[in-house]
Amino acid sequence: MRCSNQRRKKREIAGIQNCRDRLVIGQLALPIRQNGADRLKYDTLGHSYAFRISGEVFTQNGIGARDGVAMTTFDGNGGLTHVDWVMANGAIVPGPTNSYGFYDETGSYTVNPDCTGTAQINFPIPPHGTSGAVIQLMFVIVDGGRTIHTIVNSLTPPNTTTPVPANIHSDAVKVSPF
């Protein structure tokens, strides 16, 4: 009888543990759930995210591999600031950098109720240039707002208004406060 009681207590404890896990998961989802439907607000992205960037750009001069890292801060109101450091075919992408060696950009974003969205990153005009590069992104927000996956849907190089084909994606995680 004693053995049977111990097994029953283990099952009860396991059931409580399972319930507690569900409650924790539910609490993590609360910021993005309203009235049983997924809803995401701009303030869900009112944080900084660290990105890993990878892909290719297709130009008349050939295929250019891209690899880099970025930090994007979403202001919670549709604006963003972005710093990145990107390699092109193994060489540093030229351009003006900040005091830490990264490139500074600004932009905007929109979040849809289904946790998808768009963003635009505007690069500064290079020295002696006529316009900065513009990157337009499509993204999805997952894991309770802790992760973002992006795909470049348009890349316009500096000094032109004509986009070039690109196959670039990035994945990001929310940066925790120090």
| Same domain? 17 vs 93 | no
Q: Can you tell me whether residue 27 is helix, strand or coil?
A: helix
- State which residues form the domain around 13: 2-37
Give the list of residues 6+ apart from residue 67 with CB closer than 8 angstroms, or none.
53, 54, 86, 87
pLDDT at 21 over 90: no
| Same domain? 63 vs 142 | yes
Q: Report how many helices (DSSP H) and strands (DSSP E) the chain contains, helices first.
A: 1, 11
pLDDT at res. 44: 58
Q: What is the pTM of this model?
A: 0.75
End-to-end distance of the chain based on CA atoms, in angstroms? 52
Distance CA 166, CA 80 (A): 22
Distance CA 145, CA 173 (A): 9
Per-residue pLDDT tens for 25-84? 222 333 334 443 344 555 557 789 999 999 999 988 899 999 999 999 999 889 999 999
| Same domain? 84 vs 149 | yes
